């Protein structure tokens, strides 16, 4: 294992170190980066949690179990693990107790590192307190960085309060607001598709595009996150961040350079062009749903309220909506977004539906059949398909049929696709904020999301039930059919 020589030794301090995110995602990602020689030697990983775990090896054992579970068996190497384990430490600290930070100060003075990453894998309402306590304990060195998990806040006001508190102690350049969708290889590939191929730019606008669909469907329910989820719901958990980021990458203007702020400026312009929902718009253009008991993948599953162990809840587990990007390029092109839990299958897909040819010379076979479509599958199996209209061979006149030009990226590139967290963690270590959200981006996303929340509130719009294993409430299809369109049916 040769270690990347250019990176400074780094301390990665994970608040919420024994929580679900740390064990499922962050630590396995660090294992992979260590295995591939990217984590500088002399780096240390410090899990922070409330629980007292003595000896420290209790924590290492916990991390080992998580790595065995979440690293592919072929990639888990006992010898590498042994070396990796030597970099892992644990400190029992109540993040809200300022005095408890003294032991961290003692730990860090033992070895002075050049880069210090504080990863806050905790609920956002303690971000401010942790940052204040880190500051008071003198732990924020010039090369310190703080990573904040989404969603930051519950609405615009709480986002501002948390963000302002964090920015009292860290400069904007030190703050890495994570949206793990931006770390997905396939999502980065959206930029390559658009800005490294000359083919699409000329048709990437309202002149040629009829509408765009973005679907992030999940078959799982809320799992063990009931407390968090019930407070947030699908619109805050998914639309405000992941789906809006995907929308930005599809809708943004080509950046002049691949520089963090230049790219983020372009995304910000899209977010600021989103038309807010006013008056009764949400009734017409948004659908809220909540799953009831049903079956997914042939297995019976409980409904949402049974899952969270409550009698009643008005939280959305499904949202579909029609958004508008009011700018020169996209005027009149609706963006339909859809996400939900307990849908029939897990997949994320973007469909760019092109307009029909301006003058049709072949017999009419229904408008739908005669338009091109670009279907970008982000997960689970990455592919890019272009639906082309062709002639069905043989007699019978000109019978048209859409067929696929099909590029399967998983077949083309056989290497393992790294998890989003691997890329993002290394970007933090390297100090590259390109794939992280700037304050003003998150703020703009909240401004627009809040117009939905307000519409729901003002119009008393409650989630409609849908059966687990279906594609959401019937209104989600109506959202499209009222515009003479329909959701792309995945294979």
State the residues that interact with ligand BG6 by CB under 6 A: 218, 237
Report the sign of the C-alpha dihedral through residues 162, 167, 170, 171, in that order.
positive
| Helix/strand/coil percent split, the chain, to 5 | 40, 20, 40
CA distance 281 to 451: 10
> Exposed e or buried b for every residue in 204-227, given b needs 16+ CB within 10 A?
bebeebbbbbbbbbbbebbeeebe
CA distance 77 to 184: 24
Measured from the CB atom, the residue of 324 and 346 that comes closer to ligand BG6 is 346
Structure tokens at 230: 């019930």
Decide the pairing of beta strands 383-391 and 88-92: unpaired
Q: CB-based burial of residue 450 (10 Å sphere; 0-12 exposed, 13-18 middle, 19+ buried)?
A: middle
Q: In 149-248, where do the E strands start and end?
A: 175-177, 209-217
Measured from the CB atom, the residue of 84 and 229 that comes closer to ligand BG6 is 229
**SS3 category, 283:** helix
Cβ atoms of residues 177 and 442 within 8 Å: yes
CB of 25 to ligand BG6, least distance (A): 9
CA distance 409 to 386: 14
CB of 139 to ligand BG6, least distance (A): 28
Cβ atoms of residues 239 and 453 within 8 Å: no
Measured from the CB atom, the residue of 210 and 218 that comes closer to ligand BG6 is 218
> How many CA atoms lie less than 13 Å away from 243 in the CB half-sphere?
31
Cβ atoms of residues 182 and 442 within 8 Å: no
Is 359 considered catalytic here? no
Q: CB-based burial of residue 325 (10 Å sphere; 0-12 exposed, 13-18 middle, 19+ buried)?
A: buried
Other Cβ atoms less than 10 A from the Cβ of 280: the count is: 12
**Using alpha carbons only, how large is the chain's radius of gyration in Å?**
24
Measured from the CB atom, the residue of 139 and 321 that comes closer to ligand BG6 is 321
Cα distances (Å, whole numbers) of residue 288 to 161, 242, 447, 471: 28, 17, 19, 12
Q: Is 415 left (phi over 0), alpha (psi -120 to 50) or beta?
A: beta
Active-site residue identified among 113, 180, 211, 242: 242
CB of 237 to ligand BG6, least distance (A): 5
CA distance 214 to 489: 12
The gap from C-alpha 295 to its chain's centroid, in whole angstroms, comes to 26
Residue nearest to ligand BG6 (CB): 237
CB of 50 to ligand BG6, least distance (A): 22
**SS3 category, 50:** coil
Cβ atoms of residues 363 and 351 within 8 Å: no
Residue position matching structure tokens 């019930």: 230
Measured from the CB atom, the residue of 237 and 307 that comes closer to ligand BG6 is 237
Residue numbers annotated as active site: 242
């Amino acid at each position: 294992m040769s270690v990347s020589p250019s990176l400074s030794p780094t301390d990665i301090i994970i608040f919420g170190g024994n929580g679900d995110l740390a064990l499922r995602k962050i630590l396995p990602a660090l294992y992979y980066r260590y295995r591939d020689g990217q984590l500088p030697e002399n780096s240390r990983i410090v899990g922070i949690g409330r629980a007292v775990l003595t000896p420290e090896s209790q924590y290492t054992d916990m991390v080992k179990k998580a790595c065995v579970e979440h690293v592919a068996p072929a990639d888990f190497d006992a010898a590498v693990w042994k070396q990796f384990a030597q970099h892992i430490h644990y400190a029992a600290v109540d993040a809200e107790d300022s005095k408890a930070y003294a032991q961290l100060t003692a730990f860090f003075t033992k070895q002075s590192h050049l880069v210090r990453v504080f990863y806050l894998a905790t609920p956002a309402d303690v971000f401010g307190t942790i940052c204040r306590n880190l500051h008071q304990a003198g732990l924020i060195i010039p090369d310190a960085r703080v990573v904040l998990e989404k969603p930051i806040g519950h609405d615009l006001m709480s986002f501002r309060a948390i963000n302002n508190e964090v920015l009292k102690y860290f400069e904007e350049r030190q703050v890495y607001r994570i949206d793990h969708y931006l770390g997905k290889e396939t999502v980065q590939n959206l930029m390559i598709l658009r800005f490294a191929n000359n083919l699409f730019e000329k048709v990437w606008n309202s002149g040629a595009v009829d509408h765009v669909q973005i679907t992030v469907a999940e078959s799982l329910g809320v799992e063990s996150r009931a407390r968090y989820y019930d407070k947030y719901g699908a619109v805050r958990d998914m639309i405000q961040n992941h789906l809006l980021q995907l929308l930005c990458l599809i809708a943004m203007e080509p950046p002049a350079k691949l520089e963090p702020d230049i790219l983020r400026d372009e995304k910000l312009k899209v977010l600021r062009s989103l038309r807010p929902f006013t008056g009764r718009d949400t009734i017409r253009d948004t659908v809220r749903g909540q799953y009831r008991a049903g079956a997914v993948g042939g297995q019976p599953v409980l409904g949402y309220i049974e899952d969270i162990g409550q009698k009643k809840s008005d939280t959305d587990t499904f949202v579909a909506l029609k958004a508008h990007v009011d700018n020169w390029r996209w005027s009149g092109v609706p963006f339909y977004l859809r996400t939900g839990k307990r849908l029939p299958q897990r997949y994320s897909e973007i469909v760019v539906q092109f307009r029909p040819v301006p003058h049709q010379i072949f017999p009419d076979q229904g408008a739908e059949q005669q338009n091109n479509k670009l279907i970008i599958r982000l997960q689970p199996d990455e592919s890019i398909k272009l639906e082309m209209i062709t002639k069905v061979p043989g007699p019978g006149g000109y019978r048209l049929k859409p067929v696929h030009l099909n590029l399967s990226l998983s077949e083309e590139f056989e290497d393992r696709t790294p998890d989003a967290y691997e890329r993002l963690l290394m970007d933090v270590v390297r100090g590259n904020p390109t794939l992280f959200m700037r304050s003003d981006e998150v703020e703009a996303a909240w401004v627009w999301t809040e117009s939905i929340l307000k519409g729901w509130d003002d119009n008393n719009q409650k989630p409609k039930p849908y059966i687990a294993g279906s594609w959401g409430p019937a209104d989600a299809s109506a959202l499209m059919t009222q515009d003479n369109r329909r959701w792309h049916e995945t294979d």
